[in-house]
A and B are shown apart, each in its own frame.
Chain A
Amino acid sequence: EAGVAQSPRYKIIEKRQSVAFWCNPISGHATLYWYQQILGQGPKLLIQFQNNGVVDDSQLPKDRFSAERLKGVDSTLKIQPAKLEDSAVYLCASSYGGLYGYTFGSGTRLTVV
């Protein structure tokens, strides 16, 4: 089966600019996650979708981050305006649920200068 697709692979922007990331999960996976991984740390959950509804966004900095999953398939994560501390790898994952584990995309490496 095809994996989780993410784009772009790399992005460099200046602080205060905006940026968007795209994720296409595995077909049939109802649950989609966005994680932020700062260098040297474990991934931190930003937002969790079940189909096109938000299950958990408690750690999403809502003053600058937004995410949507229209039609319950692909998803976009946006940052506006970006700060230096947003430099990280943004990982998308999807899950069928139950005991099958989660499949992660290759991530988008964001550098804010």
Chain B
Amino acid sequence: SQQGEEDPQALSIQEGENATMNCSYKTSINNLQWYRQNSGRGLVHLILIRSNEREKHSGRLRVTLDTSKKSSSLLITASRAADTASYFCATEQYGNKLVFGAGTILRVKS
């Protein structure tokens, strides 16, 4: 079974705009990770945030984590056409078990 729910399911924006994706989960976690998947390809690890962290940045990515609400958000700033992909949040649970949500499809129009 999948751990999280992502919102929205699909997002279409113009190049240069910011994209925000949200993720909610149900159980205790060690950390939360975000992955990108281009059509028909493997998953690429983007960023990891530990359960005791609240915010993390990596380049144009900003991730927040609220463990009291069991939710996370991924912000991509100044989006580019190359950011078009599916984005998944995944929670690492006890025993290094990584469980994925259903994903958000992002389309960046140029």
Which residues in A have some Cβ–Cβ distance to B below 8 Å?
4, 31, 33, 35, 41-45, 48, 50, 55-56, 59, 91, 93, 95, 97, 99-107, 109
Contacts and interface: CB of A to CB of B under 8 A. Distances in A.
Interface residues of B, number: 23
Contacts of A103: 45
Contacts of B99: 45
Contacts of A31: 96
Interface of B: 1-2, 31, 33, 35, 40-45, 48, 50, 88, 95-103
B96 A104 contact: no
A42 B48 contact: no
A45 B42 contact: no
Contact of A95 (B41, B50, B96, B101): B96
A44 B100 contact: yes
Nearest to A109: B40
13 contacts: A41-B102, A41-B103, A43-B43, A44-B2, A48-B95, A56-B95, A56-B97, A59-B1, A95-B96, A102-B98, A104-B44, A105-B42, A107-B41
